[in-house]
């Protein structure tokens, strides 16, 4: 088990790895791997939340001929390399016990990214006070997420103007780096 630590600055999308189990049967392992990753997420969520972090995502991907188990974490402020080291030590011990995958893999602990997507209302609530980028069907905007309550997102723009957007109208929202 190789241990690689780094701070990820961009968003990572989940990619499904299709691996042919047998040319004869034509069956695929993607579904099985996704199930393993989902079960692993449940176990890792408890461990990571016990360390006062949030589990942003877990991916298991084939990259450059090697499998990579990537655990992405978040907290209420920002993730440092020391945070990644702390989490990786505890999670690595847990992975040794759980031993979720048959093949060798590299293990990485990263942040979710400086401009990570906010995928649900819980992640949006944690982002209050941070800069965000939002897309709806008819507009795109950036600003500070002032409030999220009762399905309404309140954004304060650079020019101090305030916009209210209904959560159900948002097609995409992510953290933003505003200069």
pLDDT at 35: 86
Mean pLDDT confidence for 17-39 = 58
Give the mean model confidence (pLDDT) for residues 152-169: 96
Kind of pairing, strands 66-74 and 54-63? antiparallel
Q: What is the pLDDT of residues 93-136, one digit of tens each?
A: 999 998 888 889 999 999 999 999 999 999 999 999 999 999 99
* Confidence label for 29 from pLDDT (cuts 50, 70 and 90): low
Is the predicted pLDDT of residue 30 greater than 90, yes or no? Answer: no
Residue 7: helix, strand or coil by DSSP?
Answer: coil
Q: How would DSSP label each residue in 89-121?
A: HHHHHHHHHH---SS-EEEEEEES-TT-B--SH
Query: Which distant-in-sequence residues (6+ apart) come within 8 Å of 84 by Cβ?
Result: 5, 6, 7, 73, 109, 110, 111
What's the whole-model pTM score?
0.77
Q: Is the pLDDT of residue 146 over 90?
A: yes
Q: Give the pLDDT score at 43.
A: 95
pLDDT at 102: 87
Give the per-residue pLDDT at 11: 34
Q: Tens digit of pLDDT for each residue in 35-90?
A: 889 999 999 999 999 999 999 999 999 899 999 999 999 998 889 999 999 999 99
Which DSSP letter does residue 11 get? -
């Amino acid at each position: 088990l190789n241990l690689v630590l780094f701070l990820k600055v961009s968003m990572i999308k989940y990619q499904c790895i299709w691996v042919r189990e047998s040319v004869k049967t034509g069956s695929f392992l993607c579904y099985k791997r996704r199930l393993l990753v989902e079960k692993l997420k449940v176990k890792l969520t408890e461990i990571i939340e016990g360390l006062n972090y949030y589990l942003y995502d877990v991916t298991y991907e084939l990259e450059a001929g090697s499998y990579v188990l990537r655990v992405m974490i978040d907290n209420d402020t920002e993730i440092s390399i020391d945070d990644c080291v702390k989490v990786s030590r505890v999670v690595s011990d847990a992975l040794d016990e759980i031993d979720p995958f048959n093949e060798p893999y590299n293990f990485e602990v990263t942040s979710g990214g400086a401009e990570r997507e906010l995928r649900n209302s819980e992640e949006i609530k944690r982002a209050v006070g941070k800069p965000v980028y939002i897309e709806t069907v008819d507009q795109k905007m950036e600003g500070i997420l002032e409030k999220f309550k009762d399905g309404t997102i309140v954004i304060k723009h650079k020019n101090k103007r305030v916009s209210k957007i209904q959560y159900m109208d948002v097609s995409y929202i992510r953290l933003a780096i505003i200069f």
